[in-house]
Structure 1
Amino acid sequence: MHVMIKALTIVAAVASCSARVGAEPVRWTVYRIPETGTSVDIPTSIFSEMAGRPDGYGQRFQTADGRASLTVQSAARDGRETPAEFLAKKNPPSSIQYKRITPRFFAVSSTKGDYVWYNRCNFTAAHVHCVLINYPQAWERAWDGLVTRISLSLNRG
């Protein structure tokens, strides 16, 4: 039941995403990792600070106050490992509140303390393309549309 409610929330957020969070319009850009073909829409007016590099290829971003982060990451795919097998190797917590696994991607989300975390990884023949987002739980309703756009844009273009 909770998964169905979360899925309906995501659908509603896509339908009503107004491109605004707070008083200012959100500015978006496409971030690309040329080495692997990863691309994703990033709200640069929100994730305005560079925060280092993850393993593999990509970039970490954070809000100016450091309370939220976005990691775009890509790495070579080990053989024919499925999304379910890849996720299992990461030993995710048993308390995942949202989990969707298909033959081409997985998306998982939950809370840890006062924060929400969301991870999505898309699988191509040669690479795993991921976004990881962490933000205060108090922002969850306001950020549903942002998280959805980021997630659905992964490798779209």
Structure 2
Amino acid sequence: MTSMIRALALLTLAASSSAAAQAEPVRWTTYRIPETGTSVDIPASIFSDTAGRPDGYGQRFQTSDGRANLTVQSAPSDGESPARFLARKNPPPNIQYKRVTSRFFAVSSYKGDYVWYNRCNFAGGYVHCVLINYPRAWERDWDGIVTRISLSLNRG
């Protein structure tokens, strides 16, 4: 009986290792907005479909199942500070994470079963933003993905 339990444990371990080995790593690419010089690393293997254009310049992307989306956007800033711009957008009061500096803001919270994250950098007369929405159940697995996208946002 003990040898049967060991055999089952080894089969389970082999199956899980095989599944992990077959999982493809995330494939990243740099998306650029030519009109404003904005660039950002995006996980092209995750956000594989385009989903329209935002206001200003940029592109919306989504996962193949449509459950998550990413918007990369640039628009004229009208000289507003990040704090004033964010206040004008009237964000919901239940923000879980908020960081505002003289050059950018980053905010995140929950909306139902989804996480939303927005970061906007202010440079060169434009607001350069990434907006990400994804299922709350994915939050732990997506922390590194959201961090890389956020920190790579750049005005070229």
Question: Shorter-chain TM-score: what band?
Answer: 0.7 to 0.9
Residue aligning to 1:103: 102
Conservation of the 8 A alpha-carbon contact between 2:107 and 2:119: yes
Q: Distance in 1 between matches of 2:57 and 2:30?
A: 16
Instruction: Return the alpha-carbon distance in structure 1 between the equivalents of residues 53 and 24 of structure 2.
Output: 28
Q: Percent identity among equivalent residues?
A: 81
2:95 & 2:153 partners in 1: Cα distance? 21
Q: Counterpart in 2 of 1:13?
A: none
Superposition CA RMSD, Å: 1.4
In the TM superposition, what is the alpha-carbon distance from 1:156 to its structure 2 partner? 6.6
Using structure 1 for the length normalisation, give the TM-score: 0.84
Which residue number corresponds to residue 145 of structure 2? 146
**Counterpart in 2 of 1:127?**
126
Count of residue correspondences: 136
SS of the residue corresponding to residue 154 of structure 2 reads coil
Q: Give 1:57's aligned residue.
A: 57
In the aligned structure 1, how far is the partner of 2:124 from the partner of 2:77?
A: 7
Asked which structure has the greater CA Rg, the reply is 2
Q: Normalising by structure 2, report the TM-score.
A: 0.85
- Which consecutive unaligned segments of at least 5 residues does structure 1 have? 1-19
User: Which runs of structure 1 show a deviation greater than 4 angstroms over 4 or more consecutive aligned residues?
Assistant: none
Q: Which residue of 2 aligns with 1:45?
A: 45
CA–CA distance in structure 2, aligned partners of residues 109 and 23 of structure 1: 29
Q: Which has the higher contact order (CA 8 A, sep 6+)?
A: 1
Q: What CA distance in whole angstroms lies between the structure 1 residues aligned with 2:134 and 2:34? A: 27
Aligned with 1:129: secondary structure? strand
Amino acid at match of 2:100: I
Aligned to 2:93: 94
Unaligned runs of 5+ in 2: 1-19
